[in-house]
Amino acid sequence: MATARRAAVSTIRPLITPEGVDLRIKLADAGTRAAAFLLDFVIIIVAAIVISIIALFGLAGLNGEGAQPLFIVWIILIFFLRNAYFIVFEAGRRAATPGKRMLSIRVASRSGAGLSVDQVIARNLMREIEIFLPLSIILGRSEMGLADTLSTIFGLVWALLFALFPLFNRDRMRIGDLLAGTWVVEAPKLALVEDLSQRQNARAFRFTQAQLDAYGIAELHKLEEVLRRDDYFALKAVAETIGRKIGMMIEPVDSRAFLTAYYGELRAQLERKLLLGTRKADKYQR
């Protein structure tokens, strides 16, 4: 448990915005980044297959003539596909490709400013040197001679060095991230917490002005914490304490309903008073 906590803390970094706000981001781990890339790679392969099928139909329509120009166009389209895919998606508002979105990660600028198009282009064009160039060396061999074997080994070592680079720096950066000044960070989907004042109660409770005046903002926050924790014994103890304070007898089975109703009424009253310029910080304020 302690080791996992230390590992989680070791990937947290300060990210100071131009306004001076520290966002405290968490870096994406190497496994998540690799999985996101594989998902994106599958999408690119599918798109490349579609383009290839269209090119084959075009070649058939030309009766075999103009095959070389069509092949050149196909190569250019595939090059732009694999680069434009990453650049267009990461330069967008979400700064993430579909693969990154599926795994809740995104690209961010290490300076804390907004991610610029120049940074996106720089980090993604480096992928050509990191991944696609060694792959083309491996796949471009014609036969299994000595030269082809050496080029294959060279391509594999090249790709492996770049692929393992994020494991040997504390910020989990690719070479492209290092040059472009970017991070890949976690961007979990956050759900809004339930509005406790909107809960429907099994029993209706009515409170007088004096009963609501017994507590202030500090107690309201504590009461919200207890309700969200939803511990039976804590709810019972707090309900009994508040009941004694405001002169109401509360049955244990009604603890949650009573506290929810009191929370909603107290919050509404404090909000009304705030509009009138009156605040009650806590129960000790007169």
Same domain for 53 and 75, yes or no, is yes
What residue numbers bound the domain in which 238 lies? 196-275
For residue 90, the model assigns a pLDDT of: 93
Q: What does DSSP assign to residue 132? A: I
Can you give the pTM of this predicted structure?
0.60
pLDDT band with cut points at 50, 70 and 90 for residue 5 = very low
Q: Mean pLDDT over residues 3-15, rounded?
A: 61
Q: Mean pLDDT over residues 246-257, rounded?
A: 83
Q: Which two tokens stand for residue 121?
A: 């282009």
Residue 191, in any domain of the structure: no
Asked if residue 142 has pLDDT above 60, the reply is no
pLDDT, tens digit, 9 for 90 and up, residues 25-84: 889 888 898 899 999 999 999 998 988 888 777 777 666 566 677 778 888 888 888 889
Residue 36, in any domain of the structure: yes
pLDDT band with cut points at 50, 70 and 90 for residue 143 = low
Same domain for 231 and 178, yes or no, is no
pLDDT, tens digit, 9 for 90 and up, residues 254-267: 888 888 888 888 88
Same domain for 33 and 51, yes or no, is yes
DSSP secondary structure string for all residues of 134-188: HHHHHHT--S-SHHHHHHHHHHHHHHHHHHHGGGGSTT---HHHHHHTEEEEE-P
What are the backbone dihedrals phi and psi of residue 183, each rounded to the nearest 5 degrees, phi first?
-125, 160
Better-scored residue on pLDDT, 7 or 166: 166
Percentage of the chain beyond pLDDT 70 is 79
Residue 2, in any domain of the structure: no
For residue 277, the model assigns a pLDDT of: 66
Residue 249, in any domain of the structure: yes
Same domain for 99 and 217, yes or no, is no
Q: How far apart are CA 96 and CA 180, in angstroms?
A: 16
pLDDT, tens digit, 9 for 90 and up, residues 84-137: 999 999 998 889 999 999 999 999 998 877 889 999 999 998 888 887 777 777
Q: Mean pLDDT over residues 175-199, rounded?
A: 77
Asked if residue 200 has pLDDT above 80, the reply is no
Same domain for 212 and 118, yes or no, is no
Q: What does DSSP assign to residue 16? A: B
Same domain for 170 and 30, yes or no, is yes
Q: How far apart are CA 43 and CA 100, in angstroms?
A: 12
- Say which residues have a Cβ less than 8 Å from residue 240's Cβ, sequence separation at least 6: 250, 255
Alpha carbon 126 to its chain centroid, in Å, reads 24
Computed over every residue of the chain, the mean pLDDT equals: 80
Same domain for 214 and 139, yes or no, is no
3-state helix, strand, coil in the chain (%, to 5): 65, 5, 30
Query: Of 121, 153, 186, which one is at a domain's C-terminal end?
Result: 186
Residue 98, in any domain of the structure: yes
Q: How far apart are CA 14 and CA 30, in angstroms?
A: 19
Residue 202, in any domain of the structure: yes
For residue 101, the model assigns a pLDDT of: 93
Q: Mean pLDDT over residues 197-225, rounded?
A: 78
